[in-house]
Structure 1
């Protein structure tokens, strides 16, 4: 497919598209600022860094037991497990559901068990976090239909994993399944993407404005491609990664090839 095939995908009703984007933006602000949104994360504590099981500011004793985490709690810790006050010892697996549904809590705080590449961590979500109190919104570019582009998903013959630096300074594997091809001002570009369980795509990308007019990198989540591989690349819905809201997330940086040579002035730009 030539570059001329990847053109701006003009919405059928630009006014309706702009209104839909505004609703999306408002929902994003509500989600980010919700009691257990990313602003409430006050710490990600890797158990390997706490061999005695004690984490500053986090009650209980947390031990890496290989296939699970063992939590020991005393009455003075004020810990609840599965919604009930807990004293004793319990084995925990990783929390995979919504933050409010995590098994361990201390008052309104949620202590979420995380497993990543064989390492265990405890995340502390606190609705009373300073970041949540100080949040003033998300700076975003005005909706522009010119940044809704027609693209095409081309899967790799085999999925691949590349090592990329993460926001916490460590390198980890990032799984990629293919490329999304699209054209900007007549020049074809490609983004390496992952495929989510529901078939939607996920790109970690930077552009010429990253770190200047916008955050240092962003996410893009196009819907699942059509049967012929066609996909809409809507930069108006570029997302700030969770680590833009709290320093304790371990977001991956863009993989090689995912830094665009032009600035993208739309989508979420910075936290206010």
Structure 2
């Protein structure tokens, strides 16, 4: 693909990302993540109904006054719920324009609230991103671990959780080899890295994500740093994004891809 074509593809990626995060039920719309275990009485802040974890799932009891809908129909009574794997916009649960999403993390259940009227969504001014640089699309190689491993890392909400890792992604820049530990999607084999670099916390958000795609059968893959992107917690404080695992801080400036939010929302990024 020519540099012009790559630049056009990157621009389309950036435009798509901007549209996705600012969508009515995108990351900017998240107004709360409430862990059910923290509310033994079953009443979550600003969330209608009565909630409790039970037998590997969640039980929600609601009355007509709660205004909760399940699969487009009023929920009056009790319903057993599993984790909602779909997009927030397609959540089974709604309360007016608000969408309620059940999640599970390391055996703990929570409810996320997505509100199109969220202040962060109204204040969004765009994502500051560096224009495409072909020199930052680097040939790399993926080496899977013999067995997948889990490391404990801090998360944006202040708690440590397990981060599953499936191998190492190596690439060279200016003659120096670098390595990132990566997670591997069990469905399509695509890779995902959480990394920091010499710009983190200054001219870029404190850490970023990279989704290089799926390696070729021999392990070759392009490490395109132009596609570095902000984690969900850059858009809303209620996400629980993992911090980079040990060794995933690159010693050079990744002055590429998404850097931070524009305008007032960039404060503290």
Per the alignment, residue 17 of structure 1 pairs with 6
Structure 1 Cα separation of the partners of residues 232 and 167 of structure 2: 24
Q: Report which stretch shifted further, 97-106 or 143-152.
A: 97-106
SS in structure 2 at match of 1:231: strand
Residues 1:191 and 2:210 are matched in the alignment: no
Per the alignment, residue 111 of structure 1 pairs with 100
How many residues align? The count is 261
Per the alignment, residue 261 of structure 2 pairs with 271
- Counterpart selection for 2:114 from 113, 119, 125: 125
Question: How far off is 1:100 after superposition?
Answer: 2.0
Residues 1:250 and 2:233 are matched in the alignment: no
Which consecutive unaligned segments of at least 5 residues does structure 1 have?
1-11
Q: Report which stretch shifted further, 71-80 or 24-33.
A: 71-80
SS in structure 2 at match of 1:210: coil
- Counterpart selection for 1:204 from 191, 194, 200: 194
CA-based RMSD: 0.8
SS in structure 1 at match of 2:245: coil
- Counterpart selection for 1:56 from 39, 45, 49: 45
Runs of 4+ in structure 1 displaced over 6 angstroms?
Answer: none
Structure 2 Cα separation of the partners of residues 95 and 210 of structure 1: 32
- Counterpart selection for 1:138 from 122, 127, 143: 127
Residues 1:82 and 2:74 are matched in the alignment: no
Structure 1 Cα separation of the partners of residues 229 and 94 of structure 2: 29
SS in structure 2 at match of 1:221: strand
Structure 2 Cα separation of the partners of residues 123 and 55 of structure 1: 10
Per the alignment, residue 7 of structure 1 pairs with none
Question: How far off is 1:241 after superposition?
Answer: 0.4
- Counterpart selection for 1:230 from 220, 235, 258: 220
Which consecutive unaligned segments of at least 5 residues does structure 2 have?
263-269
State the TM-score, normalized to the length of structure 1.
0.94
Residues 1:217 and 2:207 are matched in the alignment: yes
SS in structure 2 at match of 1:222: strand
- Counterpart selection for 1:44 from 11, 33, 42: 33
State the TM-score, normalized to the length of structure 2.
0.95
Per the alignment, residue 150 of structure 1 pairs with 139
